[in-house]
Amino acid sequence: MLLQLQDIEKRFGGVTALRAGNLSVSAGEVHLLLGENGAGKSTLMKIVAGIVERDSGRMIWNGSEVFLRAPAEASAIGIAMVNQESLLAPHLTVAENIFLGGEPRSATGWINRRGIADQARRLIAQYNFPLDADWRVDRLSPAGRQMVEICRAIQHGSSLLIFDEPTSSLSDAETQQVFRIVRDLKARQMGIIYITHRMDELRAIGDRVTVLRDGGTVYTGNLADISTDQLIRHMVGREVAQIYQREHLPPGPVALETRGLSVTKSKLKDISLTLRKGEITGMAGLIGAGRTELCRAIFGVDPIDSGEVLVYGKRANIRSPRDAVKAGIALVTEDRQISGLALRLSIAANVTMANVERISRIGILNLTEQNRLSSELGQRMRLRAASPAQLAGTLSGGNQQKVVIAKWLFREAGIFLFDEPTRGIDIGAKAEVFELMSELARSGAAILMVSSELPELLHVADRIVVMRQGRISGELMRGCTQEEIMKLAVMDAAA
């Protein structure tokens, strides 16, 4: 046994973040840590990594109780954390980042750069990382940067690694690379704590699992002894069927139509698609099939080379996102932190930015009205935030997604393009996003939902359009199977 956490408690002011955190990890084990945002996972792991000090409870490391007050103390005993967001120096090489802060030096005190490169190459070769010691980190993919972080932890002699959402922004191929490395580390008797929201990952790498809810441990056991549906019930306190529950209504008239839409830049070819009021149209396809590119083209981000877009039966001349917004189209992007939100602005500013005319007169914002209206929308969407003045960048992923949706509700859009709306958010937040989408459909909105999560599409969508290599390869109605979707996703569109 490497680590035991017994009844860990932590309070921040009057808020209890942890009330009974219990977890144990053995050498050669991948221990999954699950829970909604706010359940206490991050706080518990920050205590283990020495970032936050516990208020009470016991932390036992290799049989002895420890109290860590700084990350350096955790690193010294063999605990390292691989963060979701890279903490590397982008202008330095892979080798320089691996040894950053602990560079080998000559007798005169000079950094031994040749020694750094040689040791890094040996480490990379030993673990078969797809890296080169001389590569600059700013040219690496997200998966590559995470591998450099893993190399740093190994080089420092860590025996316990904490992975915080390591695959949330990775492709399937990059995810498989991370899985291979995790399995290799496990085989070398390293202990692994693995935090994820992606339920499809669990069986690929996990041995045991701990679930936190409302600051306390509610389940610990072998992964083989519990079903995924039971895990979700422990996480959110309700059945899976309730998460995806939706009333499917007959669709209304066509709200948006594309006819022969083609974009040379993104290899979209002859896309003809209809979105109806009151309907959620799902869109499936492999990475690179053109789903995001289609959303960008409809929203005016990428220019259309041929074909047309009709909004409520009339041809729309959409040459920019501004034109799309005026036509009543909203895009909820897959990268909400980059193109969906202004992270350094308040919730109120983000909610109202797409329709500032509504709260301004002669160019002057009515800040009281801005706060009032954004607060009303926040209550409607069950946004968990201190106030409308809270910065958007400080919110959890699920609450950030709610702010993005609220922005378009404030604009009173009628056509919604949701691109991977549940990426990187926990199962409870997913349920709330699905409920919001269902409410929009009931109110008459037309929705396109792009998702790589086929179970989500099968539960939520009224019909599913499948893309392959820039074309629509087929359409399936509600009640279809994952096998039917995948067949269309990999077959030739002309077949």
The pair of structure tokens assigned to 462 is 């009224």
Residue range 401-408: mean pLDDT, rounded: 91
Name the percent of the chain lying above pLDDT 90. 54
Q: For residue 334, what pLDDT is reported?
A: 82
CATH 3.40.50.300 matches 254-490: yes
pLDDT band with cut points at 50, 70 and 90 for residue 105? confident
What is the band of 86 on the pLDDT scale with cuts at 50, 70, 90? low
Residue 238: band (very low, low, confident or very high) from pLDDT cuts 50, 70, 90: low
What order of strands is seen across the sheet that includes strand 3-12? 64-65, 56-61, 3-12, 15-25, 216-222, 208-213, 30-34, 191-195, 160-164, 79-82
Task: Using pLDDT thresholds of 50, 70 and 90, give the confidence band for residue 494.
Answer: very low
**pLDDT (tens digit per residue) in 139-192:** 887 778 888 888 888 888 889 999 988 877 666 777 888 888 899 999 999 999
Pure H helices in 70-161: 71-77, 94-98, 113-127, 142-155
pLDDT average, residue stretch 437-459:
91
Domain ranges of the chain: 3-238, 254-490
Confidence of residue 240 (pLDDT cuts 50, 70, 90): low
Average pLDDT value for the chain: 88
Q: Which residues are 256's β-sheet partners?
A: 275, 311
- Compute CA distances 404 → 106, 339, 425, whole Å: 53, 10, 14
Residues 6+ apart with CB under 8 A from 216: 18, 19, 20, 21, 40
pLDDT at 51 over 50: yes
Residue 495 pLDDT exceeds 60: no
pLDDT over threshold 90, residue 68: yes
End-to-end CA distance of the chain: 56
Mean pLDDT of 23-46: 90
pLDDT higher than threshold 70 for residue 492: no
Domain boundaries 3-238, CATH class: alpha beta
Give the pLDDT confidence score for residue 241 in this predicted structure.
Answer: 59
Q: Answer yes or no: is pLDDT of 244 > 80.
A: no
Give residue 81's pLDDT. 87
Report DSSP state, residue 305: S
Confidence of residue 493 (pLDDT cuts 50, 70, 90): very low
Q: State mean pLDDT over 50-74.
A: 94
**How would residue 461 be classed by pLDDT, with cut points 50, 70 and 90?**
very high
Q: How far is CA 88 from the centre of its chain?
A: 20
Global pTM reads: 0.67
Q: pLDDT at position 10, please?
A: 93
User: How far is 414 from 329, CA to CA, in rounded Å?
Assistant: 6
Per-residue tokens: 154: 């190994």
Does the pLDDT of residue 283 top 80, yes or no? yes
pLDDT band at 312 (very low <50, low <70, confident <90, very high): very high
254-490 matches 3-238 in CATH topology: yes
Over range 325-339, report the average pLDDT: 89
For residue 106, the SS3 value is coil
